[in-house]
Amino acid sequence: MTSLYFFPHCFLRFLQNQSILSSSCCMMKSFQRCALLVRTLSVFVFFIPVTISVPFILLHGIRDQCSNGGTISFTQLLSNLSSSPGSCLEIGNGEQDSVSMPLTQQARIACEKVKQMKELSQGYNIVAQSQGNLVARGLIEFCDNAPPVLNYVSLGGPHAGIANIPKCTSPVCQLLRTDVYSDYVQDHIAPSGYIKLPNEMSKYLEHSKYLPKLNNERPTERNSIYKERFTSLHNLVLVMFQGDKVVMPKESCWFGYYPDGATTPLLPPQQTKLYTEDWIGLKTLDAAGKVKFVSVPGEHLQMAHDDVVKHVVPYLQNHPSFFLNADSTKI
């Protein structure tokens, strides 16, 4: 006996195929062979309700990597609590590339990797941390011929950009502060791809190489495919940390941001143009009840265990479905 696992939609298609098969069979000359085929299909196919394990991938943030203890245990914890298989997806060499590799390239690598992972081919869920969310959305929006992303849980993601570059002394940080929209910085420092200075909007729209594209911000370059793909999510969970001092403003984790050219007032997601003009489908998803705006106490990514259980795990858990058991050798 060979066991076949099907998703509900495949199951329906299978039933349809079976009836198509029956009707086209009637036109066939070899009635006997045909009758035998139909009977074999009906006799050896039966159903038992079970659950289907949808795998998840974790995309870590900047200056982190899959082999770090914290990332390993978080992946394991999510897997343990949800009973779903999951793994951390690494991009390049991890920590160093998370800082220096442009996000366009990071998303491209993630896309190629995901397509090679056979276990994801029926669809998968994503949990992403901080900058990893920009890779996650790149996967969802830009990746051609990829398996579908079903649920996407975003933890502290700077979705609408970051408005302040923290005061700092490292050379990387200095470059971000002085010349963020130059080609050199755009091509060598990952966070330059999502720094959106409200008083530099024209430079941002013209020279930023990642976020304007990801958010379909350029009026002449809006891509309906990105929107279509993002809108196909089953659930979008946007977790914001109340004490976040890394993502500024923290409301960016919900797609809230400042109006173009000003640093006040801070607009809630529903009042941004991205939402009202529905550039990427956030409004459509929200209208369908598929967006969860979650606010939790704690600093950036410091999520209490109970909040993980409440806001992350349910979206990784098995979906009740059917187990289709067919003797494929007879088919």
Ligand X SMILES: *[C@@H]1O[C@H](CO)[C@@H](O)[C@H](O)[C@H]1NC(C)=O
Chain residue at closest Cβ approach to ligand X? 80
- Using the Cα atoms of residue 138, residue 139, residue 140 and residue 146 in order, give the sign of their dihedral: positive
Question: Cβ closer to ligand X: 59 or 308?
Answer: 308
- Let me know: does 281 contact 186? Beta carbons within 8 Å: no
Question: For residues 218 and 208, what is the distance between their CA atoms, to the nearest angstrom?
Answer: 11
Q: How far is the CB of 63 from ligand X (least distance, A)?
A: 22
Q: How far is the CB of 206 from ligand X (least distance, A)?
A: 45
Question: Cβ closer to ligand X: 118 or 305?
Answer: 305
Question: For residues 280 and 216, what is the distance between their CA atoms, to the nearest angstrom?
Answer: 6
In this structure, the number of other CB atoms found within 10 A of the CB of residue 26 comes to: 10
Q: Is residue 83 close enough to count as binding ligand X by CB under 6 A? A: no
Largest Cα span, the chain:
82
According to CB under 6 A, which residues from 222 to 261 bind ligand X?
none
Q: How far is the CB of 80 from ligand X (least distance, A)?
A: 4
Among 35, 38, 77, 117, binds ligand X (CB under 6 A): 77
Question: Cβ closer to ligand X: 15 or 309?
Answer: 309
Question: Cβ closer to ligand X: 20 or 304?
Answer: 304
The SS3 assignment for 127 reads strand
Q: How far is the CB of 216 from ligand X (least distance, A)?
A: 38
Q: Output the DSSP codes for 279-304.
A: SSSHHHHHHTT-EEEEEESSSTT---
According to CB under 6 A, which residues from 47 to 76 bind ligand X?
73, 76
Q: How far is the CB of 71 from ligand X (least distance, A)?
A: 11
Q: How far is the CB of 53 from ligand X (least distance, A)?
A: 15
Q: Tokens for 41, please give them.
A: 């299909």
Nearest to 84 by CA among 324, 319, 329: 319
Among 2, 30, 67, 80, binds ligand X (CB under 6 A): 80
Question: Cβ closer to ligand X: 73 or 242?
Answer: 73
- Let me know: does 327 contact 3? Beta carbons within 8 Å: no
According to CB under 6 A, which residues from 119 to 138 bind ligand X?
none
My answer on whether omega of the bond before 158 falls inside 30° of 0, hence cis, is: no
Question: Cβ closer to ligand X: 81 or 172?
Answer: 81
Residues in contact with ligand X, counted by CB under 6 A, come to a total of 4
Q: How far is the CB of 85 from ligand X (least distance, A)?
A: 12
- H helical segments located in the chain: 8-25, 31-43, 69-82, 95-100, 103-116, 132-142, 171-179, 183-188, 201-207, 211-214, 224-231, 273-276, 282-287, 305-311
Q: How far is the CB of 86 from ligand X (least distance, A)?
A: 11
According to CB under 6 A, which residues from 31 to 50 bind ligand X?
none
Question: Cβ closer to ligand X: 60 or 108?
Answer: 60
Each residue 159-178 as x (binds ligand X by CB under 6 A) or -, in order, gives --------------------
Contacts of 234 (CB under 8 A, 6+ apart): 150, 151, 290
- Let me know: does 190 contact 62? Beta carbons within 8 Å: yes
Question: Cβ closer to ligand X: 18 or 73?
Answer: 73
User: What residues line the site for ligand X (CB under 6 A)?
Assistant: 73, 76-77, 80
